[in-house]
Structure 1
Amino acid sequence: MRFSFPLRSGRLLERYKRFLADIVVGEDKLTLHCPNTGRMTGCAGAGWEVFYSTSDNPKRKYAHTWELCRNDEGDFICVNTGRANLLVAEALEARRIPALAGYERISAEVRYGKENSRIDFLLRGQDLPDCYVEVKSVTLHEGEGNGFFPDTQSVRAQKHVRELMECAHAGHRAVMLFCVLHTGIERVSPAEHLDPKYAALVREAVAAGVECLAWKASISPQDMTLTVPVPVEL
């Protein structure tokens, strides 16, 4: 996925009110929209280089959107969580993920489940069971290549695991796809130290037939692409 616009850069001052961040560009201060509802632990260090896009929509209150940052170790991190589904959609269309390459039809944001959820992708193919794919963006890095999801307790993420288990019980294929958007992460685990209930549900889901996959993105200010699988350690 190439950015269709040149990303500009500045230095992060602070993120605040969850959806806003101030940066310095030259001698000017600029306020960005921050498209990330999470805690962004380890993704928003003061002084880090920030890369942002600019919208030409005159109705937007904040024209600039925080896309990427680069930490002191030189790792790129995509903080725009909306990019995860775009990357996965691109990879599915290109049949870049071998485990999910046998399906002809790809539908996004399909309602399903007993808890009124929307599945990120529903894959269908001739003589194949329907495949429900839930995408999770992984940016929490705690050193030595270890990545975790979620970055805080998440009732919503727990619900999605339960819904996938119901799919598996119904005879469908159910897949949790961790989209790794931090170039320093080499493996992914459920964050038991932050959300033990979620971690327990994931292990229960795997025992029930839910698959866990993780794919890592190459990230630069020019483009992002899902390139390599990384292990999921439960």
Structure 2
Amino acid sequence: MIFDKRIIKAIFLTRPNRFEAYVYMDGQEILVHVPNTGRCSEILIPTVQVLLREENNPRRKTKYDLIAAYKNGKLINIDSQIPNKVVYEALNKGKIEYFKKYNKIEKEKTFGNSRFDFKLSNFENQECYLEVKGVTLEHDEVTSFPDAPTERGKKHLMELVEVKKSGREAGILFLIQMQDVRYFTPYDEMDEEFGQALRYAQREGVCVSAYNCNVGESFIELDREIQIKL
């Protein structure tokens, strides 16, 4: 997908809370919105170059969203709204092999007590519920999720198992919002229960996949499937 709003470079200064950050741009310090509630502490480090997206909404407190940052020369998108958009585009283009048999794509559909990102179906009455998780945590080209404890993530995995038991297909896709990575693995040190739930879900037949992205200053798109180590 190509960004249709103005993208501006700035220098990151500090992040006083989950939703806001201060950056240096055009000779002044300004407050911006951070569209990611994760910690991103290994990315948002003082003096790193970041990308801002201009949001011309007069009712907003801030004029810009902080959507990406350079980490050791690697551009990482941190906008939590991006993964679903990238996957939706990829599903429509048939770029994800496992889900190519589905021709109907619905967003935000409920099964049991959970709302999943996508419900996929086709003319053969086959159905699949798909959850997408954005990944920004990386060290030495190894990517991990989550970067903060996530009870909601574990709940989604347990519900995906129930989807599978109902005779439908179920999947979780980790969208790695950067290029040049070697593999993906759950971050057990941060949330051991999520890692255990992910392994259990895979054993129960839930499709667990990971894809990286081609990332530029004005675009992001799904690239290729990445190895998973559980």
TM superposition score category, shorter chain reference: over 0.9
Equivalenced residues, count: 230
CA distance, structure 2, for counterparts of residue 98 and residue 224 of structure 1:
19
Q: Are 2:186 and 1:190 aligned?
A: yes
- Contact 1:8 / 1:51 at 8 angstroms: preserved in 2? yes
Distance 1:99 1:162 in 2: 21
Q: Which amino acid aligns with 2:204?
A: A
Matches within 5 A, 1:58-97: 58-71=58-71, 73-97=72-96
Residue 129 of structure 1: CA displacement? Answer: 2.5
Instruction: Kindly state the Cα deviation for residue 155 of structure 1 after the two structures are TM-superposed.
Output: 0.5
**In the alignment, what sits opposite 2:224?**
228
- 2:21 corresponds to: 21
Shift of 1:128: 5.2
**Greater strand fraction, Structure 1 or Structure 2:** 2
1:119 corresponds, among 107, 116, 126, to 116
Q: Tell me the CA shift for residue 23 of structure 1.
A: 0.6
- The one of 168, 175, 179 equivalent to 1:172 is 168
Q: Does structure 1 residue 202 correspond to structure 2 residue 198?
A: yes
Report % sequence identity. 29
Q: How far apart are residue 204 of structure 1 and its match?
A: 0.8
Q: 2:5 touches 2:55 (CA, 8 Å); kept in 1?
A: no
Return the alpha-carbon distance in structure 2 between the equivalents of residues 193 and 222 of structure 1.
34
CA RMSD of aligned residues (A): 1.1
The DSSP-based 3-state class of the residue aligned with 2:85 is helix
- Counterpart for residue 216 of structure 1: 212
CA contact (8 A) 1:141 1:182 kept: no
- Paired residue type of 1:121: F
* 1:61 Cα offset (Å): 1.0
Determine if contact 1:164/1:175 at 8 Å carries over to the other structure.
yes
Instruction: Supply the distance in 1 between the matched residues of 2:192 and 2:38 (Cα, whole angstroms).
Output: 17
Residues 77 and 178, structure 2, Cα contact 8 Å, conserved in 1: yes
Answer whether contact 1:129 1:171 (CA < 8 A) is retained.
no
TM-score (norm 2): 0.97
Post-superposition offset of 1:194: 1.2
Among 106, 128, 133, the alignment partner of 2:130 is 133
Shift of 1:139: 0.8
| Structure 1 residue runs without a partner (length 5+) | none
Contact 1:51 1:69 in 2 (8 A): yes
Contact 1:41 1:140 in 2 (8 A): no
Instruction: State the one-letter code of the partner of 1:226.
Output: L
Q: Any runs of at least 4 consecutive aligned residues in structure 1 with deviations exceeding 4 A, and if so which?
A: none
In structure 1, C-alpha distance between the alignment counterparts of 2:58 and 2:65, rounded to whole Å: 14
With normalisation by structure 1, the TM-score equals: 0.95
Where does the alignment leave 5 or more consecutive residues of structure 2 unmatched? none
